Chains A and B, each alone.
Chain A
């Protein structure tokens, strides 16, 4: 029988713990496929976060480090400085990166640290049970914004990709989404470009991925994908925010 599809060997055979309709599984696969296609499995080090992707080290078939909440960019910095030939990436959610780890991500970009960050924005804290994140949309109900996010009370959602793009040390920043097949293809291209940016020694690269969290949003998987498109993308416009990789 003709093989039409094969799981990338950069993912282990461990069954993922993610909920049905969660975007993490898709993004894991994209990252793993990129590592395979670039032929860098034997020198890539993954720094996984505290958040739903905390078990990322079980799924990526590469050397991995579990970082403290928000600190992955700092820990990845230490590793990259020791072995500059390693390809080092962090995989972080929005609580991890946009809230508690805001300083670490800003300064990794500021130093032009030659690492790559995959940032999953699903507008909520997943692992802890659906609390409000800095990326939670205005009016969105969560367990800590039960009346809907009130911008008078706690501000408006943080646009990380745009913010990081303002930093000199950032070489490549793009926002993508995994809500549809065409967007998933674009997401993979962006992730590949971000890793290539590191391989070329251009500087810091970040891909923000708009992703779904049906469980904590109280939606079905298909409703969740629709909500990414109808509510998230208008506030978080997709596209390249910065690219100096050709300079």
Chain B
């Protein structure tokens, strides 16, 4: 099993965090992982992205050009990375703020209304978790329990009360994928 992923979006949308949660979760499950952020001026104000690899084998390249999965949280990310999905791969689009449809026909595309899901939970910050839920449902790359463990580690005891909210967001993200597969 080898999942190569690119998570991309605006700074502040939490794409680096969900990428990290995936890496932590993979590590907890005994898989080999790497998390590589874009860094430097690229990060300031514009788009942020990270490459995450989850693999049974030792991770060869942590730098991903062609990915099994691309997660686009905003329009510039979709424009930039749609071409980087491997044939047969998966593309996740935050349909709340991206009005464009995917042009590729050789991949699976999932439209996830991340902002609406977050709004329905009265917390604009959990849109990224909805997207991560969608990813987990479509790929089964790791178990959501491992993701929650990772989130607990990242949040620390003081913010542990936010876990149920995040679980809900993940669940609604998963649901949106199930609805589309039907």
Q: Please say whether the chains A and B touch (CB closer than 8 A).
A: no
Query: Residues of A at under 8 Å CB distance from B?
Result: none
